[in-house]
Chain A
């Protein structure tokens, strides 16, 4: 009888750990994302914050260099690094080209029609943030979204 009890409690324990694993794994992942162990970048760029969000997922096997390009002579000498923002030296077209290597333009248009018309005119980072855990633009209200259009298109 006692052995049965032991087996029962053991099975319950394993079950609970099994159920609670997804939570604990996701927590562990944010701490031990391989992308954040990239010494070449993180050594200096600690202060910029770590990389979270869907692009940091270990199974994607992405490195900083996949998007930002190789460091080459950076920081002292010439390099072909890409910065994603309005203040970047790279044109909007160069910036969006990096994203569209993986993200098919037709799929993007299907999700939101505005992708098609801004394609090479506005950089993706103008609306999207990839380093944060969730992209804030996904959860905005329709009113805020319309204000985003007005911010640039206002003619008075």
Chain B
């Protein structure tokens, strides 16, 4: 009789431990699986400031493709200069658009979940129907690239043409329009992609990396700002 009770208790304990263990294992496995899918594609962009001529063809292409109304823009080219003495003057051009951060301050502050990072592509996007226009994201973005679209009344910004051209398996409008090929778009997770090759071979920088936002808009500096030894 005693033996039976002991046996029952032993069996019960063993099954309980086994059940808990197996569910945890399954959970862990499924967890790693979702992680894998998250990192399959991670889109990024390079703006080669040595090639950029400041023609702003990209700005027009973006406006046309994404129906961005006048007065606001997803993409701007900021000109600074002229530097140097006439006639050897030059300007520097900097792209002002969403940096597609890996650590997203805009998503963190969004109270409705309208701002989100697409797990399939790594692109930070806005669900305009969820947005209530509280402008928290506009305040939170360290790059100041978000705006309220006067037509949809929702926060808007560059999404690498996710809803327009990426769906047709085309590269973003700005990349296609650039006459000097100053923009390189691609998947960071694909070692054979052009973007990875360029990043591995060319010195580049990103803006405000000290904030820990891990931006994915890489820049190739036009003029070497270092002193010559």
The answer to the question of A8 belonging to the interface, with a C-beta cut-off of 8 Å to chain B, is no
Q: Which of B54, B82, B179 contacts A150 (CB 8 A)?
A: B179
Contact status A120-B87, CB under 8 Å: yes
| A31 contacts B by Cβ under 8 Å | no
The stretch of B22-30, B55-63, B164-172 in contact with A is B55-63
- Which of B79, B82, B87: most chain A Cβ within 10 A? B87
Q: How far is the CB of B70 from chain A (nearest CB, A)?
A: 12
* Neighbouring A residues of B89 by C-beta, 8 Å: 109, 116-117, 119
Instruction: Say whether chain A's binding surface is mostly helix, strand, loop, or mixed.
Output: helix
B8 at the interface (CB under 8 A from A): no
Partner of A146, one of B55, B79, B91, B181: B55
CB-based contact A150/B86 at 8 Å:
no
Within 8 A of A (CB), among B43-72: 51, 53-57, 60
The answer to whether A155 touches B82 (Cβ under 8 A) is no
Chain B residues positioned under 8 Å from A143 (CB to CB) = 60
* Chain A, 130-156, CB within 8 A of any chain B CB: 142-143, 146, 149-150, 153-156
Residues of A within 8 A of B (CB): 93, 96, 105-106, 109, 113, 116-117, 119-120, 142-143, 146, 149-150, 153-156
Interface residues of B (CB under 8 A from A): 51, 53-57, 60, 79, 81-82, 86-91, 179-181
Sort A-B residue pairs by CB-CB distance and give the 3 closest, nearest first: A119-B87, A149-B55, A120-B87
